[in-house]
């Protein structure tokens, strides 16, 4: 990455930033706490600590929804706080921003305007295709005349893309991802165990399932729906498996539709080389096997999947 360049990925759950000066990426929660006067009470990781514990005067907001900027005003406030905290001398920086491929021109323009307004003064701002960056970050050679398919399983979206000759042949953005699995777990715990847990607890249960394939039990805390009192109980992490499997079934169905829409030569290339999955959703150890059963095509989980886009952004800007 050239000196004075910043790369930004605005995810549904996380905001990631890379620079030339530091090897590691900055990763903060993409959420903001607003008080009753409309002022910022906390941002990023500090807002996450308040999440599901905040008083009624404070509202916790997630500015990015469905892969695009759903709350422009508060996303600008959040990004301004991050810039002021970690960066100075904005006019010296050129900023690259990762944006989904399958969005409207207005939604794409919002990414561009947001960064300009958040930083105040910059050298320039450029938008880069998120699927292209993810592919580069996964180590895929997309410059050759050969079809490649990448599925990015994020928190709020799932993006399926076919790439060839350094470009996007076909891309489809689905407005669901890991967050929907968390919501389902919350409902499942209510129905099956009569306990009301928060989304944080549901996410922890999901993560434990990803780590041990449901072989270990997880302790969850919440409110007993019968007595109304706090309750702690142990449940198998496999409670998440049904929804996770259904999610990848839906992704496989959409992948079939994408493959049907691309030229047959590219589809045959993908049959030979397989499909790469990245993003946090690819951490589920059974995901590749489930999709292979559905598609009859080899499916490979990329290494370091949660950071693939920001890695690709750093490489792209070098």
Q: What is the pLDDT of residues 68-102, one digit of tens each?
A: 999 999 999 999 999 888 876 666 788 999 999 99
Percentage of the chain with pLDDT > 90?
85
pLDDT at 91: 63
H or E stretch at 198: none
End-to-end CA distance of the chain: 3
Give the C-alpha separation, 17 to 7, whole Å.
5
Model confidence at 54, pLDDT cuts 50, 70, 90, reads very high
Q: What share of the chain has pLDDT > 70, as a percent? A: 97
Q: Cβ atoms within 10 A of the Cβ of 67, count? A: 27
Residue 228 has a CB neighbour count (10 Å cut-off) of 9
CA distances from 195 to 46, 47, 188, 227, 243 (A): 27, 25, 9, 10, 18
Q: How confident is the model at residue 1 (pLDDT cuts 50, 70, 90)?
A: very low
Whether residue 13 has pLDDT greater than 80: yes
Angstrom distance (rounded) from CA 241 to CA 298: 21
3-state DSSP assignment of residue 276: strand
Q: In the predicted model, is pLDDT for residue 2 greater than 60? A: no
Residue 130's CB is within 10 A of a number of other CB atoms, namely 31
Q: What is the pLDDT of residue 248?
A: 97
28 class by beta-carbon count within 10 Å (0-12 exposed, 13-18 middle, 19+ buried): buried
pLDDT digits (tens, 9 = 90+) for 235-292: 988 899 999 999 999 999 999 999 999 999 999 999 999 999 999 999 998 999 999 9
Mean pLDDT of the chain: 93
pLDDT of residue 119: 81
How many CB atoms within 10 Å of residue 5? 22
- Tell me the whole-structure pTM to 2 decimals: 0.93
Phi-psi region of 194 (alpha: psi -120 to 50; beta: other; left: phi over 0): left
Question: Do 30 and 63 contact (CB within 8 A), yes or no?
Answer: yes
Indicate the Cα dihedral angle 84, 76, 181, 66, nearest 10°. -140
Domain annotation for the chain: domains and CATH numbers = 5-130+311-316 (3.30.420.40), 133-176+243-303 (3.30.420.40), 178-240 (3.90.640.10)
Distance CA 99, CA 129 (A): 5
- Least confident window among 148-152, 165-169, 217-221: 217-221
């Amino acid at each position: 990455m050239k000196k004075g360049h910043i790369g930004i990925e605005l995810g549904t759950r996380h905001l990631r930033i890379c620079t030339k000066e530091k090897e590691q990426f900055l990763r903060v929660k993409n959420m903001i706490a607003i008080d009753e006067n409309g002022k910022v009470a906390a941002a990023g990781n500090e807002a996450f600590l308040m999440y599901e514990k905040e008083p009624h005067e404070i509202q916790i907001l997630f500015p990015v929804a469905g892969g695009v900027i759903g709350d422009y005003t508060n996303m600008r406030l959040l990004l301004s706080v991050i810039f002021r905290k970690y960066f100075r001398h904005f006019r010296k920086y050129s900023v690259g921003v990762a944006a989904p491929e399958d969005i409207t021109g207005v939604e794409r323009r919002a990414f561009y305007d947001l960064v300009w307004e958040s930083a105040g003064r910059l050298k320039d701002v450029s938008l880069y295709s998120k699927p292209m960056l993810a592919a580069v970050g996964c180590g895929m050679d997309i410059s050759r005349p050969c079809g490649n398919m990448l599925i990015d399983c994020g928190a709020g979206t799932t993006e399926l893309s076919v790439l060839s000759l350094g470009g996007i042949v076909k891309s489809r953005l689905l407005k669901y991802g890991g967050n929907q699995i968390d919501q389902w777990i919350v409902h499942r715990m209510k129905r099956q165990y009569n306990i009301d847990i928060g989304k944080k607890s549901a996410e922890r249960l999901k993560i434990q399932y990803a780590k041990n394939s449901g072989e270990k039990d997880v302790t969850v805390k919440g409110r007993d729906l019968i007595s109304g009192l706090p309750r702690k109980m142990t449940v198998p992490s496999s409670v998440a498996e049904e929804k996770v499997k259904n999610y990848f079934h839906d992704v496989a169905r959409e992948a079939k539709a994408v493959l049907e829409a691309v030229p047959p030569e590219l589809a045959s290339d993908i049959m030979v080389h397989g499909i790469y999955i990245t993003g946090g959703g690819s951490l589920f150890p059974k995901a590749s096997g489930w999709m292979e059963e559905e598609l009859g095509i080899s499916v490979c989980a990329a290494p370091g999947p949660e950071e693939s886009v920001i890695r690709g952004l750093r490489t792209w800007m070098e």
